[in-house]
Amino acid sequence: MAVLLGSNSKVFDPMRAAGIEVRTFRAYRDQYNFIPTVWPAKESVPDARVTLSIRPVPDDLLAGRLDEQLRSFIATAPPGVKLSAWHEASNLEGYPDYVTDSSMSAVHEYMQGLCRGSNVRYGSIICAVPSETKTWMGTSLDWYGLDIYDFGEGQFRDWHGGISKKKLFDRLEDMRQTCRELTGRDAPEIDICETNDPRAGHRGEWFALLAEWLAGNGGGRLQTFWNPSGSLSGPWLPDDEETIGALRSLASG
């Protein structure tokens, strides 16, 4: 299976303008209990595949109060869409107190049931050490997502500040083993749903290593993330030819 390269929604078209063949994008609907009626799509690439995050309030979801909206939304899904609830639930600052590992386990099970038999594949997304976050991730989901960055703490760097392939791959292997335990499958489906390196000079290598691991473990989606005010990502740089060249190569590989 080939790796699908993409980005967060806002940077999808700028990446295409740079000659990068992006085919997937990440979208967010962060208002609590907001259920869209239309799936996010890209006019420039109608068959681009979206990974959408929403935030259904657990008590309302589990009581069935969102069923009608969710079933209608799910029924309109085109092929290839992926859905997740409460991304990075274990660590994202600002979430309400009712977002706990037990409530998320119930949310994931309920959402998986609603999506079963449809075009929608449901999964959870974390941004933490997977083996230490297992109770947040849900069991037997269609797919699992990891948001991962070259964090400033340096856990994926070698002694002189470069990227350590071993340290990065150890984290990805931890993800795979955790997902194996959660699904009982030898080859669970894993996506990278947000990623970047705040150091522009290391971005090409960072993205290439993630693509290498994904390609060697069944494919998946590699969705880069760009935020002008984000300390882990930074803005999209249309004149960064080194990074753009690396992404062009990955997209055509």
Question: What is the reported pTM?
Answer: 0.97
> What is the rounded radius of gyration, in angstroms, for the C-alpha atoms of the chain?
18
Q: By C-alpha distance, which of 230, 16, 28, 31 is closest to 145?
A: 28
What residues are paired with 110 via a beta bridge? none
Backbone φ and ψ of 73, nearest 5°: -65, -45
CATH number of 3-252: 3.20.20.80
Q: Is the pLDDT of residue 98 over 60?
A: yes
3-class secondary structure for 176-220? HHHHHHHHCCCCCCEEEEEEECCCHHHHHHHHHHHHHHHHCCCCE
Confidence band for 252, pLDDT divided at 50, 70 and 90: confident
Distance CA 185, CA 31 (A): 34
Is residue 35 within 8 Å of residue 114, measured between CB atoms? no
Is residue 38 within 8 Å of residue 18, measured between CB atoms? no
Q: By C-alpha distance, which of 118, 60, 68, 117 is closest to 85?
A: 60
Residue 219: what pLDDT? 81
Residue 118: what pLDDT? 98
Q: By C-alpha distance, which of 149, 148, 130, 147 is closest to 138?
A: 130
- The token pair at 38 is 């239309």
Residue 10 CA: distances (Å) to CA of 27, 45, 161 = 9, 14, 30
Q: By C-alpha distance, which of 63, 10, 2 is closest to 224?
A: 10
Task: Give the tens place of pLDDT for each residue, 146-201.
Answer: 999 999 999 999 999 999 999 999 999 999 999 999 999 999 999 999 999 999 99
Residue 5 CA: distances (Å) to CA of 170, 176, 205, 233, 248 = 22, 20, 15, 17, 10
Which residue shows structure tokens 């992006």? 22
Q: Where are the domains positioned within the chain? A: 3-252
Q: Which residue has the higher pLDDT, 122 or 218?
A: 122
Residue 1: what pLDDT? 47
